Structure 1
Amino acid sequence: MNDELMLERFTLMKDRIQKIQGENLVRAPYGDFFKKTAAFLIQMMDVREKLQKGWLDTANIRELEVNNQAMYQDILPKQYETSYGNPTYAKQMLGEEFGQLLSFLYTEIRDMIVFVYEERLFDMTVVMELFIQIYNLFEEETVSAKDVKEAIYWYISDYSDEMVGRRVREGVDPDLDFATNIIMNQDLTDPRYLYRFGEYVTENEIRMSQFLSSMPKEQLEAMARTFTEGYRTGFAATNKDISKKKSVNIRFQLGFEPMVKEAVLQFEEMGLKPVIYRSAVHRVNKKQHHRIGYYGAIPNPQFEYDHKDDQALCLDHEFVQRRLRVLQVAYEQVKDLAGVHGGPACIETFGETPFVPKRNPDACTLSAHQQKLQVSYDNEAGQIVNRYIKGEERSFTIIAYPSVEIGSRFEEIFRETVKLNNLDNQLYRQIQQSVIDALDEGEKVHIEGMNGNETNLTICLHELKHPERETNFENCVADVNIPVGEVFTSPKLTGTNGTLAVSKVFLKGLEYQNLKIRFQDGMIADYTCGNFDTEEENKNFIKENLLYHHDTLPLGEFAIGTNTTAYVMAKKYDIGHLLPILIAEKTGPHFAVGDTCYSWSEDTPMYNPDGKEIIARDNEVSILRKEDPARAYFGCHTDITIPYDELGAIWVERRDGGRISIIEKGKFVLKGTEPLNEAFAS
């Protein structure tokens, strides 16, 4: 559709919405909802006019802050109890029949902030048309929930071509450079640039930007070099040709732009253009409450958690099939760009105020049938993506830094983290080789907890038919996963049995208390936690957020973390509970549920620095990819770490019945690992 016709549609909707303020055509209690929502849309139209007139160039930081707060104020925690974005309030005010539906509508309309800042005329227009369509339904004497739900369903379904198509292009096309232009062309020493993204901005993002901007250029360059070299080394270590790639996806949280700018310049030296896209907005592109891409402060994690399953309003077999067709077409349209895309380079943060979600009984939830449909979609969508961005040809890297929220010692912790990200790779490679040599003598590994930790788990290892040239474990130093410090394998499932437990762990932004998972032949057989009052709530929480609606998942990875320096740093500053899994997984043994470490690239030979091939790239589930990929992959891989102070023992059961101890009472006891204990004494 041409821009002129779209502008005409947009103008009609704008004029119609402005008139709603003076109308009383919708009876109570619904009239208040439509007037408040129309007021938000008018507010966004006013912001758009200001942006078009160049307001961002002239506004002072106080004006920018006031505008930013005004756009997000209705869903902030203090206002959330009386916000239509809250499914409970919507149900109280609008009734059980319409509460969820109109709360969804309100939430989808809030995406207007992004559309206005990026001047996405199509998206602005169609969401306003949906609002008017539903408003018209409520103008009638009687309105049915069925009609409202159908309007929402067909809005998402009919426009999924454009919404999914744009999202796919955002992931591989450097020419969609809204964020890149801000990063590369604005004065990053002036924090006003942060308000150009259209994201929620707090003092935390401003302080981070100012902190990084105040660093000497050579220090910023060095931080970026650790990041970009990790990405390059990831290709080299797996014998993948980075010269065939033309783009890299950079993900970060607002405030890190000074470092990102240096990384962009360094990636360009490698021949890689930046692909920098925002975390998804349209419901059709979101994956629960997770944010993939760049993003600002999260105005209210509970709001996002309450709406993580809004797809329940439209998720049926026909819709799943349509989404898959649209995804396939979208990737086919950008196949040349996808073929030269190298994968993500991610800057994570840690130290944010922990979020313990509250279950909202009025929020949308997936039925058992819809859970199976979602699993089916995720499996098939993963296969489509892998056909165009091939797993055996791409790589990634991840690095993490503390956020300002971590507390008054932020700058000190940040400097310690920089040191942590630059530990001696060669030293750790030698120490970890000692651990691998011991592990390769065994058939099984036993892990036992202490200090109240109930872990009692046996890991079964693959048979090494040629131990002189084969190994089960990868010697992982600081390349794709920064910082250094782990050896890992994809264990054999048959014979892997027992209980994994941890007193407290944060996984993908959610806290799990007293998490316990029981494995039977490598598959999750049972699980529980202590987050909620009832066992049903605890199980549902785990199934939704850890198993991603699967009935079970395999143990895709077993690893031993060796970064005692990171562990001691966490203890020193009392931030162990705030560490991201990227660092936490190096501070004890960890266990990943879901896909293996080599998902989608199992047939690519992998070798350790000593020349031995890592043969444990498959398990009994992933090998099914040769028959049916839908049965082999789950689209998730979540690491769970036992900290050293809850770790009683790790020992290897040798083939001759002997025993080799690696860790006892939280300390390394294997010969060759002595330097790892030095951090404990510091």
Structure 2
Amino acid sequence: MVYDIYSWDKRLILERIDLAMDRISQIKLEKDIRYSEFFLKLAGFLEQVNYLRIKRDSGEFDNQSFDELNIAQNELYYDLKEENYGESVYNPDVLDKICDKEFISPFLSLSFEVRAAIITVFEGDLEGFVNILELFLQVYGICLEGGDAKEVSDAIYWYASDYLDITARKKIIESFTTSNRFFYNIIMNDDLSDLRYLFKFGEYIASNEIKTAEYLNSLDNETIRLCAKTFVDGYRDGFFAMQKDISKRSIVSLIYRIGFERIVKEAIILFEDMGFEVVLDRKPYRLADMSHIRNRGICSGGVNRQFEYDHKYDMNVFTKKAYLDRKLEISKQTFEEIKENMVRYGGPAWMDSFGDLEFTPIKKASSNVFVEKQNNLMNNYRNEMMLLQDEYMDTSGTAFCIIAWPLPSIAEDMKVYSNIFDDIIRINTLESEKYRNAQQKIIDALDKADTVSILGGEGNKTNMTIKLHELKDPSKETNFENCVADVNIPVGEVFTSPILAGTNGILFVKDVFLAGYHLKKLCISVKDGMIEDYTCENFDTEEDNRRLVEDSILKGHKYLPMGEFAIGTNVIAYNVAKKYDIFEKMPILIAEKMGPHFAFGDTCYSHDEENISYNPDGKAIIARDNECSIKRKTDIKNAYFNCHTDITIPLAELGDIYTNEPDGIHTYIIKDGKFVLEGSEVLNE
């Protein structure tokens, strides 16, 4: 079913746009403007966006050449580009110099929301566009008349609150239904060999997006179909592997990075052949939709990651209990409205990408932040939202799939990139039978143990002990899932959710990419399964290093449990990383298959604990809860953390992994970084 997401009168909206733009165009003629540099920049930007709207409406936009489109977007994003950002009014450090301190916070929020005008124009959301114009004029008017910062903050709060019934409803509908066909129509109807299509999405298109699309256009149809089919088959096979009835589901949300449209188009065709409708939902771009923790959806790599980092807490202006309570109320009404679709929703299919250039964020004193109360409010809201969503979507019947492809920035030239891409195709399409059999040998040994010990190799300080669940009937039960290439591509891991009490030690990794950040010499202390202490060595100060770990792992929480322990078995993936020296750039999806890994946050079976699954040998996987998640039966609001971050120790840094059995026997799974258990040696090939 398609739901109406735009209910406005176009003629009236256009009249409001004309009135607002007439007023905005006069700002540059006015004298003695308070905070003139800030308002003139934003006014000029909105004039550029309106001019873009006019060109799109007239058809002039579609008649431009690739170079003209590229020049136009660079003008639109001029103030956010890295080489210009140091002097930009969107930069907190610049605002600190040009306005009074109490205005910095609301001005940051306003400037971020104003940038959303680009997407509203591209998607034809004229109501969203005019609302932004009118907010800008309201704040400008307050400052023109000598108003204070509280009046500005109040204006932004009520703007967000007044339009919640539109923004909250729209975001949910677009996440679970096919009501917005913006991406679908471009992908399925445009000529993807004409790269001008990239500029129609409204996102910043950089060299990664352009080179990715160019490279995929150079591949034959058979290779493109193989990439798409591996992805779609993994999604379908996930239902069978988890013994879920796929016939009851017929909606899938597909998430990907712009530039991969040729693979995505083939995947859409394959999904539709299976009887699925494909939802293509954009990454949140309005403050009302954003999270300071995670914002998933279709997007490009963006124009400047420091800009995004500087503005990640801009929703602090309206992060208040009354606002979040109302958002939950509207969300419940919307889920009720689309409940027929929620029943049919089968879960996400995510095409991840990796190989972005290294980025270490700089924390700026003038950036917006959450105070502890706001952080708690947002964590509670995220929990409530997940529970509300679960009321309408029976997760015991959903599946998912995730696969990853490299970006051109991972290599120095396109020939090397082509070789890496070929090797990733090989990794993603490995035959499962060899791994399934070898992994079963590992599981059989692990199931005899009370605990498992993991020791780092030379230069790695890891020394962890993992406490396993007790098997009441080992002939029918197992602690570890035998993971091959279904939902979690590529093949190659056995994993469990450990007992927290008795899980202790030090986890150390020399280099790792987490949440888009490159962490150096990450060290985490664990006591009874909980993160006790943490640091890295990216910055000179301990405070900055701890803050980076908090951003990339703790996700706004003061502590997190270890939700997963796994042993990756894909030595081929390890050797590909070694061949191109791209260990630190490998996505966690592949990296977790290249050695032992540990995940902090929820368990592997979050919100799906009651739906028992089985390994190919028929044994039930019983390690589905820990001391935190079991609270779902008595105190569900404190059972989940709504995050799960994997950290892998590459085989090159690994020493030994061995079992500790109740009778004192130790069985080595890995010794000096190689598989030594009888029956698993084939994994070293």
Q: Give me the TM-score of the superposition, normalised by structure 1.
A: 0.97
Q: What is the deviation of 1:291?
A: 4.0
Tell me the equivalent position of 1:204: 208
Query: 2: distance between equivalents of 1:390 and 1:5?
Result: 41
Tell me the equivalent position of 1:647: 654
Which residue of 258, 263, 266 maps to 1:262?
266
- Which structure 2 residues correspond to residues 488-527 of structure 1 after superposition, within 5 A? 488-527=495-534
Query: 1: distance between equivalents of 2:492 and 2:157?
Result: 48
Tell me the equivalent position of 2:418: 411
Letter in 2 for 1:287: S
The residue matched to 1:98 in structure 2 has which SS? helix
Tell me the equivalent position of 1:539: 546
Q: Which moved more, 1:556-565 or 1:505-514?
A: 505-514
Query: 2: distance between equivalents of 1:291 and 1:255?
Result: 19
Query: 1: distance between equivalents of 2:338 and 2:285?
Result: 21
- Which structure 2 residues correspond to residues 5-16 of structure 1 after superposition, within 5 A? 5-16=12-23
> % of aligned pairs identical?
46
Q: Is residue 552 of structure 1 aligned with residue 556 of structure 2?
A: no
- Which structure 2 residues correspond to residues 183-582 of structure 1 after superposition, within 5 A? 183-288=187-292, 290-407=294-411, 408=413, 409-582=416-589
Seen in structure 2, the aligned counterparts of structure 1 residues 537 and 202 have a Cα distance that, compared at 3 Å, is closer
Q: Which runs of 4+ in 1 moved over 6 A?
A: none
Q: What is the deviation of 1:610?
A: 0.5
The residue matched to 2:282 in structure 1 has which SS? coil
- Which structure 2 residues correspond to residues 80-99 of structure 1 after superposition, within 5 A? 80-99=85-104
Query: 1: distance between equivalents of 2:295 and 2:538?
Result: 23
- Which structure 2 residues correspond to residues 31-70 of structure 1 after superposition, within 5 A? 31-70=36-75
- Which structure 2 residues correspond to residues 556-635 of structure 1 after superposition, within 5 A? 556-635=563-642
The residue matched to 2:77 in structure 1 has which SS? helix
Contact 2:467 2:502 in 1 (8 A): yes
Contact 1:451 1:645 in 2 (8 A): no
Offset from partner CA, 1:304-331 (integer Å, 9 cap, x none): 0111111222222222222222222222
The residue matched to 2:397 in structure 1 has which SS? coil
Q: What is the deviation of 1:290?
A: 4.2
Letter in 2 for 1:419: R
Q: What is the deviation of 1:23?
A: 1.8
Tell me the equivalent position of 1:147: 151
Which residue of 101, 110, 118 maps to 2:115?
110
Which structure 2 residue ranges, 5 or more long, are not aligned? 1-6
Query: 2: distance between equivalents of 1:462 and 1:36?
Result: 60
Contact 1:355 1:509 in 2 (8 A): yes
Letter in 1 for 2:114: I
The residue matched to 1:624 in structure 2 has which SS? helix
Q: Is residue 128 of structure 1 aligned with residue 152 of structure 2?
A: no
Q: What is the deviation of 1:289?
A: 6.8
Which structure 1 residue ranges, 5 or more long, are not aligned? none
The residue matched to 1:254 in structure 2 has which SS? coil
Seen in structure 2, the aligned counterparts of structure 1 residues 331 and 483 have a Cα distance that, compared at 3 Å, is same
Q: What is the deviation of 1:570?
A: 0.3
Offset from partner CA, 1:241-275 (integer Å, 9 cap, x none): 11211211111111110110000000001110110
Contact 1:91 1:98 in 2 (8 A): no
Contact 1:83 1:89 in 2 (8 A): yes
Q: What is the deviation of 1:536?
A: 2.5
Letter in 1 for 2:143: F
Contact 2:253 2:348 in 1 (8 A): yes
Letter in 1 for 2:94: Y
Q: Give me the TM-score of the superposition, normalised by structure 2.
A: 0.97
Q: What is the deviation of 1:132?
A: 0.5
Tell me the equivalent position of 2:186: 182
The residue matched to 1:604 in structure 2 has which SS? coil
Q: What is the deviation of 1:366?
A: 1.0
Q: What is the deviation of 1:666?
A: 0.8
The residue matched to 2:292 in structure 1 has which SS? coil
Tell me the equivalent position of 2:3: none
Q: What is the deviation of 1:57?
A: 2.8
Q: What is the deviation of 1:473?
A: 0.2
Letter in 1 for 2:327: R
Query: 1: distance between equivalents of 2:609 and 2:294?
Result: 27
Query: 1: distance between equivalents of 2:128 and 2:552?
Result: 30
Letter in 1 for 2:237: T
Which residue of 164, 170, 187 maps to 1:160?
164
Seen in structure 2, the aligned counterparts of structure 1 residues 289 and 524 have a Cα distance that, compared at 3 Å, is closer
Letter in 1 for 2:449: G
Q: What is the deviation of 1:197?
A: 0.6
Which residue of 129, 142, 145 maps to 1:137?
142
The residue matched to 1:234 in structure 2 has which SS? helix
Q: What is the deviation of 1:539?
A: 2.3
Q: What is the deviation of 1:97?
A: 1.8
Letter in 2 for 1:520: K
Query: 2: distance between equivalents of 1:514 and 1:260?
Result: 37
Q: Is residue 75 of structure 1 aligned with residue 80 of structure 2?
A: yes
Offset from partner CA, 1:320-362 (integer Å, 9 cap, x none): 2222222222222222112211111111111110111111111
Count residues with an aligned counterpart: 675
The residue matched to 1:153 in structure 2 has which SS? helix
Tell me the equivalent position of 2:4: none
